[in-house]
A and B are shown apart, each in its own frame.
Chain A
Amino acid sequence: MRLLLVRHGKAEFGPEDADRHLSPRGRADVEAVAEHLKTQEITVGRVLHSTLSRARETAEILAASLAPGVQLEELHGIEPWGDVKAFAKLAETWNEDAMVCGHEPFMGEAVSYLMTANAHAGLAEVKTGTVMSMARNPFGDGWQMRWMLTPRIVRGPKREED
């Protein structure tokens, strides 16, 4: 089973944190990552996102490429300061490849916890629009990283028009 962990794309500033939307740059970033993953025929059976707009919008863009026709699910408890241990426990019960769109510091803590059982190990620098693919560790407990793609890596450096 593959678990794709995603940090939402760059968002606009707004008075209401839960309702901040992706910026044009954030949208383009996520679209570029989605396009790369589509080319590699990456698909998932489930798409989940946090209760915040920027995570939902990110999930919508990625789902259009990786999970056409799949109904998006809102997942509570993965907000920026959510409980990573509870999330890891939940993910252990999933059988289908799933993508989860959320936030920092949650995603960085989740990936650290999945790999080492220490949420505060700081194993990954998770920039906006990053997607990380995790798989169960065949040699022991926990999970391993298979790939980690950022908008910078799939789009190239910032260009004039951005």
Chain B
Amino acid sequence: MKLYLVQHADALSKEADPKRPLSEKGLKDAQKMAAFMLEADLTVDEVVHSGKSRAEQTADVLSKAVWPGKAAIEMEGLGPNDSTDHLLHSAQIAGGDLMAVGHLPFMAKMAARCLTGFEDGVLIDFEPGAVVCLERQEEGWALSWMQRPSMVSAV
């Protein structure tokens, strides 16, 4: 059972567009990450996002690679400053691999909580579009791999 924590890709500023959709760079970065995972032949059993445009768009692009034929689902409790309780619970009861697309600081707290039991401590250096794969162990979770758009070539 794997849990993928994804920070939405680069988005427009609030000033440029109040809805903050992905920027051109963000869209390209999400596509690069999708291509990377497609090449690695990775699939998941569900993709969820926070409901904000930048997370939904990122989730849609990634879904095409890892959850073909399905549309990413909006999930509560994935907002930037939400409690990590809901996602942790969902991951613990999930029957398969789950990918969650959201925001900082939520994703950093979630990664820290899965790895150490505590939300504090910024153990992972996220960047927009980065994907962190955790694998459930007998006790807790462990890092399996991590990739970031700046480490993947253009499609």
Contact = CB atoms under 8 A, between A and B. Distances in A.
Q: Do A and B bind each other?
A: yes
A146 to B, nearest CB: 5
B98 to A, nearest CB: 17
Give the interface size bracket for B toward A: 20 to 34
Interface in A95-136: 115-116, 118, 121-125, 130, 135
A14 interface: no
B143 A123 contact: yes
A69 interface: no
Contacts of A140: 121-122
Contacts of B135: 125
Given A39-B153, A147-B148, A148-B145, A156 B41 contact: yes
A137 interface: yes
Interface residues of A, number: 28
A85 interface: no
A48 B121 CA distance: 29
A136 B151 CA distance: 19
A156 B36 CA distance: 10
Given A152-B40, A156-B39, A145 B143 contact: yes
Nearest to A114: B123
Interface of B: 39-42, 115-116, 121-125, 135, 137, 139-140, 142-148, 151-153
Interface of A: 39-40, 115-116, 118, 121-125, 130, 135, 137, 139-140, 142, 144-150, 152-154, 156-157
Given A123-B142, A148-B145, 14 more contacts: A118-B116, A121-B115, A123-B143, A125-B135, A125-B144, A145-B146, A146-B146, A147-B148, A148-B144, A149-B147, A149-B151, A153-B42, A156-B40, A156-B41
